[in-house]
Amino acid sequence: MSGGLLVVLLVLPGAAAWAGGSGDGALRMTVTVDGRSDSAERPPAVRVGAQVVKRYLLENLGEAQVYGVRVVDPGVPGGAVRCPRQRLAALGELECVARFRALPGVRLATARARGDVPSLDVLSSATARSGYVGVAGGLTLTERVSVGGGRAAVTYTVANRGNQVLHAVRVEDTALPLGPGAVDCGGRAGTVPLLPPGASVRCTATVLRPPGTHRSTGLATGSDRVPTLDAGGAPVPAPTLTARSSAAFTIPAPPGGAGVGGGSGGSGASGGSVRGGVAGVGGVGGGSGVAGVPGTSGGAGVAGAAGGAGTGAGAAGAGTAGAGTGAGGAPGAPAVPGAPAAVPGGVPQAVPPNAPPSVPRAAPTPVPPTPARTAGSVPAAPSQGVPETVPGIGDRQQQQQQQQQDQQRQQRQRAEAVPDDEGFLGRLRRRAREAHEFGVVAMLLLLLIPAAVAAALLGSRVK
């Protein structure tokens, strides 16, 4: 009896469909997003850019094994869901995992799992809906500076580019010296209470700066006050959102505000009026000037160039020699009224014919430069200028003094030009070069001295 009942049950139409417990209803899938299993009804908030972990739990409720299990989820970028390459045993479980970065906005999608049952030649499948909400806090700040009247007017534009409302957005400048309340945001001191997604607010500030180039650095801070979840399902508090901006500007100098400092005045030459005599004119590097003739006091001399000093010697008068010196406009030697003025350069003017015979004549006394001395050479005698002469008293005495000075100078130069280690023959050669009239004598001495020595040696041998 029991055997007949078993045969009847096997031939019933519905017995073949449930044989082994395999079919579309045998596979079930459950999805969790960051540890939340009810993401379809309450999608968790995830910060944009943070990691999202989706886990797909597959259960085989049938008695037949399922091969080639795969999961496709449109909510995963690129559909990157990884499943183990193994069969799903009867009444067993298998887990697939997807990891990716969160995108902004609501991301809900329906995932589908599929597998093959080769023994029954059927396809087993299951579906599940899941997702998350990507929280994007997009705070931006730009600025523009206009300059006028020595002031800089800065306009800050703060905008919400995210998908959440921003709260208590504060605008300030870290480079400009702005006091409390200097930034005006729609009638509020540097603060925007609420900034909806896609909205923007302008804030302005005016600052007085000195002429030159300056930089403004704006800073905006705020928060969306939305807590999120991390990959493990732990809560994450809302961060402080920050945005920065920067702009350079130049404050021009006011017209006529910058004065040009005057340089130090150059030194001018000073001169005195000449009364009767002429004072010495200072020359560059100590050029000689002509002193006035002794007599009435002369006027102040013309100032010489920087570093120069004029020196002049007064001519002797009435048998006595007078000397006068002038430097940089110092008073010259006394002069006789009516005497001729000396011409710069050492050439005096001629005495008029009706001048009294007691008035001496001014004569130049040029001092030649000392030539460079080299060993074994005799410096050439300096050329003497021939001044214009006019017959008068004191000419002969002045010429004698000039000749004595020239002879003393030549003797001193010759003495200085003689080297310390010069021998007898060297002195003879030098003397021969110095004076042409001693050439013959030098040659005779050079010939006779060896002959005399040879004769003395020969005579001593004969004796």
Tens digits of residue pLDDT in 269-308: 333 333 333 333 333 333 333 344 344 443 444 343 333 3
Q: Please report, for the chain, the start and end positions of each structural domain, with discontinuous segments joined by +.
A: 20-135, 139-251, 424-462
Which pLDDT band, with edges at 50, 70 and 90, does 355 fall under?
A: very low
pLDDT at 63 over 80: yes
Which pLDDT band, with edges at 50, 70 and 90, does 35 fall under?
A: very high
pLDDT at 358 over 80: no
For the chain, what percent of residues have pLDDT higher than 70? 59
Which pLDDT band, with edges at 50, 70 and 90, does 425 fall under?
A: confident
Q: Is the pTM of this model over 0.75?
A: no
Angle ∠(394,296,280) on CA atoms, nearest 5:
75
Which pLDDT band, with edges at 50, 70 and 90, does 263 fall under?
A: very low
Q: What is the mean pLDDT of the chain?
A: 72
Position with higher pLDDT, 420 vs 16: 420
Q: What is the mean pLDDT of residues 17-32?
A: 71
Nearest to 413 by CA among 434, 439, 438: 434
Q: What is the mean pLDDT of residues 127-150?
A: 95
List own/partner pairs for 240-245 with CB under 8 A and 24 or more apart. Answer: 241/137, 241/139, 241/166, 242/139, 243/139, 243/140, 243/141, 243/158, 243/219, 244/141, 244/217, 244/218, 244/219, 244/220, 245/141, 245/142, 245/143, 245/156, 245/217, 245/218, 245/220
| pLDDT of amino acid 401 | 83
| pLDDT of amino acid 442 | 66
The domains spanning 20-135 and 139-251 adopt the same CATH topology: yes
Tens digits of residue pLDDT in 154-203: 999 999 999 999 999 999 999 999 988 899 998 899 999 999 999 999 99
Q: What is the mean pLDDT of residues 454-463?
A: 80
| pLDDT of amino acid 205 | 96
Which pLDDT band, with edges at 50, 70 and 90, does 337 fall under?
A: very low
Tens digits of residue pLDDT in 214-228: 999 999 999 999 999
Tens digits of residue pLDDT in 400-417: 888 888 888 887 776 655
* CATH match of 139-251 with 2.60.40.10: yes
pLDDT at 258 over 50: no
**How many CB atoms are closer than 10 A to CB 369?**
6
* CATH match of 20-135 with 2.60.40.10: yes
pLDDT at 34 over 80: yes
Which pLDDT band, with edges at 50, 70 and 90, does 434 fall under?
A: low
